[in-house]
Amino acid sequence: MTVKEIDFFGGVEMFDRLERSWNLVKFSVSVLQQDKELLVFPLLSSIAAMAVLGSFLPLILADVAMRDACLLYTSDAAENREV
């Protein structure tokens, strides 16, 4: 084990990891530039994921509206109640 590998704060190893990650990103971009058809699946997958998430939006909005209505109704009923 060398002195470089024994770094308690992760300095040298951290920069090695960052360099490897950056090299991987550059390689991935070069592959995508050579074959643009590879972008079709992630694009379609993203659109499908947004559609699924978007299908829950009306339900969430309806739930929030119903909770607000229930809270308003119960607070009005509590104020009008005779003790």
- Which tens digits make up the pLDDT trace of 48-75? 999 999 999 999 999 998 988 887 777 7
Query: Is residue 40 very low, low, confident or very high in pLDDT (cuts 50, 70, 90)?
Result: very high
Cβ 48 vs Cβ 40: under 8 Å: no
pLDDT computed for residue 35 by the predictor: 92
Q: Is the dihedral of CA 68, 72, 73, 74 positive or negative?
A: positive
Residue 1: what pLDDT?
46
Q: Is 81 left (phi over 0), alpha (psi -120 to 50) or beta?
A: beta
**What is the pLDDT at residue 21?**
94
- The token duo for 34 is 């050579």
pTM of the full structure: 0.49
In single-letter form, the type of residue at position 56 comes to: F
Q: Judge whether residue 3 has pLDDT over 70.
A: no
Residue 10 backbone class (left: φ over 0; alpha: ψ -120 to 50; beta: rest): left
